[in-house]
Chains A and B, each alone.
Chain A
């Protein structure tokens, strides 16, 4: 199984400030044949299912604000919220879809400082 490890487990950021979440996979989740990174980021608010924010590591899902961005390749990835809004308080998960079993990071809780 590919183990996904996120850091930090939680972070508190002031409104309007930048939030950065890291995700590391135990093996590469990138295919050299198509140069794609098989990694998605999800946001989960209390009592709700996860909602996809980004796929292919950096492609925003339709309707996702552009303050959410993703970067990285191979085994190291980053989710950045450029200017934290109150509605961004949530738990964020990375997930690899390179192979099965699909695996998720343990989650990073983002709060307002």
Chain B
């Protein structure tokens, strides 16, 4: 059973880069069996898919954020990370990491608990 846990700063200043990490347990991120995604949710609003990484280096990003997003994997720590640059107040949200099975089902089966990131000076 895959388990995910987000970590990182809860407060980021405008124009800076938001950096979050998702630690994976229960499976190896190097196994290439999963899509590893980031999803965010502003308070009281819906879910927005940010992007994903799979096969260690392949990525897909939401075109609405693509110019500011980088997702990467650290196999030595069994983690994947999100970097979102030039943040504004509109990037304030709960950020979730989630996994989807690449081989069969593709839906988001496992989710982290989420981490609230506030963009404010």
Task: Tell me the chain B residues, 60-92 only, with Cβ under 8 Å from chain A.
Answer: 60-64
Are B46 and A107 in touch, CB under 8 angstroms?
Answer: yes
Tell me if B111 and A100 are in contact (CB < 8 A).
no
Residues of chain B lying within 8 A (CB to CB) of residue A55: 105, 107
- How far, in Å, is B51 (CB) from chain A's closest CB? 8
Chain A CB within 8 A of B113 CB:
yes
Q: Is B96 in contact with chain A by the CB < 8 A criterion?
A: yes
Which of B37, B47, B49, B109 makes the CB contact (< 8 A) with A52?
B109
Within 8 A of A (CB), among B16-65: 37, 46-49, 51-52, 60-64
From B46, B61, B98, name the one whose CB has the most chain A CB atoms within 10 angstroms: B46
Q: Which residues of A have CB within 8 Å of B109?
A: 52, 61
Q: What is the number of residues of chain B that contact chain A, defined by CB distance less than 8 Å?
A: 24
A residues contacting the other copy or chain, number (CB 8 A): 23
Question: Which parts of A38-70 form the interface with B (CB within 8 Å)?
Answer: 38, 40, 42, 48-52, 55-56, 61
With A40-B108, A55-B107, A95-B107 known, 13 other A-B pairs at CB within 8 A are A50-B96, A50-B108, A51-B111, A52-B107, A52-B109, A93-B46, A97-B107, A100-B49, A100-B52, A101-B64, A104-B49, A106-B46, A107-B46
Give 29 pairs: A residue, B residue, CB < 8 Å, sorted on A.
A1-B63, A40-B107, A49-B98, A50-B96, A50-B108, A50-B111, A51-B111, A52-B107, A52-B108, A55-B107, A56-B105, A61-B109, A95-B47, A95-B107, A97-B100, A97-B107, A100-B52, A100-B62, A101-B49, A101-B63, A102-B49, A103-B49, A104-B46, A104-B47, A104-B48, A104-B49, A105-B46, A106-B46, A107-B46
- List residues of B whose CB falls within 8 A of some A CB: 37, 46-49, 51-52, 60-64, 96, 98, 100, 105-109, 111-114
